Amino acid sequence: MKRLLNVFKKKMHHVIMILVLFFLALLLGWWSIFIKKSIIQAYRDQNTIIEQTCQILASKLGKLPDRPVPGIYRGDDRLVISIDPDPQGLTTLKPNWPQYSIHPNQAYLNRIALQKKRQSLMVLGEGSFLAICVIISSFMLYYNIRLERRSKEELVEFWSRVTHEIKTPITGIRLFLETLKRGTLKPDEQSYLVDMAMKQIARQQQLTQNILMGQQVERRAGKMTLVSLNPVEFLEKYINHHNLMLAGVKTEITADQKAREARVKADPNSLHTILDNLADNAIKYGPSDLSLVFHFEVTKKVILSVSDNGPGFPPKMADHLFDAYRRLPRDLPVGKHGTGMGLHICRSLARAMGGDMEAFSHGEGEGATFKIFMTKE
């Protein structure tokens, strides 16, 4: 029973949506039928009134001594006097003028028939428009409810991942320190543990920076300091400065003369953050013999392609990589770790600098390429 209640709570917005649409459909159907019947009844009433008017006037005019004048009746243009007696005798001018009869003007009958048709079309049009508005509004409400629920679920999952990502480096650093505290290690072993601890600290710093920047990235665009810089030189300095983080990683930079001479307008801190996240992801998900190839090309933009020999991802998931709090499915190697904020921050920063970022992969096990588009100076 408790399980059924939990399922109902999760699917409650679906049930509410169905019930709302059902009752709105009933209400709309009742309203349409009621208005339609009202229009038909009004049309019938008009015909009844004009027929009764003809009968009353026929009785009066039939008693007058003056011969009636055929044509439109002077007292009411809805009526016509004609020289053809009514077969039923209801509108014949009896007793003095039985060869004459009075009947509704055909133009008037056409007019009220046209009015009925227009009113019916108006009801149909307004009803259809109202139905479309109701359906669109209902689905927008349903979409917003689902979006809000999904955002809450993703946020809960995000903080769960953050907790895990924080605990893992701390646990590693603690083990390193406890091992060093024993004092039983050789100098080269101590140096190795210190390097490992420094890597864990760098990972912790990157995680903290991503969390903070994830909250500020939308406001950061107006605070960026765009300067002129040579992207190739910037990348070379970055790799040299991060030799500890990239230890054991084979790196290669390819750029023709045009690319080496190109200059871009970029924010150094933002570009640094983008490279940090790409390098961190490659190390986190890549193989032990990880290699990174940085390739520059110049078109309307200066494009930096960062390619790795990691696990890759399904091509159809390329755009989803950049969604906030979004990771790939857990059955993929790249879906088991991380907070889901890194690549979202990368693209947001790239766009804030006037560029963009895209991801490419031929499939699982085929590696991945991330392209950073930068604005030429």
pLDDT, position 334: 46
Of 220, 13, 39, 237, the closest CA to residue 126 belongs to: 39
| Token pair of 77 as six digits | 């243009």
How many C-beta atoms lie closer than 10 Å to residue 289's C-beta? 9
Q: Which residue has the higher pLDDT, 102 or 142?
A: 102
Query: Percent of the chain having pLDDT more than 70?
Result: 82
Of 377, 359, 350, the closest CA to residue 314 belongs to: 359
Return the minimum-mean-pLDDT range out of 6-10, 24-28, 185-189, 239-243. 6-10
pLDDT at 43 over 80: yes
Kindly list the domain boundaries of the chain, sorted by start residue: 2-145, 155-219, 223-375
Q: Which residue has the higher pLDDT, 150 or 361?
A: 361
Of 57-71, 204-218, 289-303, which one has max mean pLDDT? 289-303
What's the whole-number average pLDDT of the chain?
A: 81
Of 35, 340, 354, the closest CA to residue 373 belongs to: 354
CA dist., res. 255 & res. 252, Å (int): 10
Mean pLDDT of the region 329-345: 61
- The end-to-end CA distance of the chain, in Å, is 66
Q: State the pLDDT confidence band at 172, using cuts at 50, 70 and 90.
A: confident
The CATH architecture to which 155-219 belongs is: Orthogonal Bundle (1.10)
Mean pLDDT of the region 4-20: 67
pLDDT at 328 over 70: no
Alpha helices, DSSP H, located in 62-105: none
Mean pLDDT of the region 50-72: 86
Q: State the pLDDT confidence band at 201, using cuts at 50, 70 and 90.
A: confident
The CATH architecture to which 223-375 belongs is: 2-Layer Sandwich (3.30)
pLDDT, position 107: 87
pLDDT at 335 over 50: no
Q: Which residue has the higher pLDDT, 176 or 218?
A: 176
Query: Which residues partner with 372 through β-bridges?
Result: 304, 357
Q: State the pLDDT confidence band at 144, using cuts at 50, 70 and 90.
A: confident
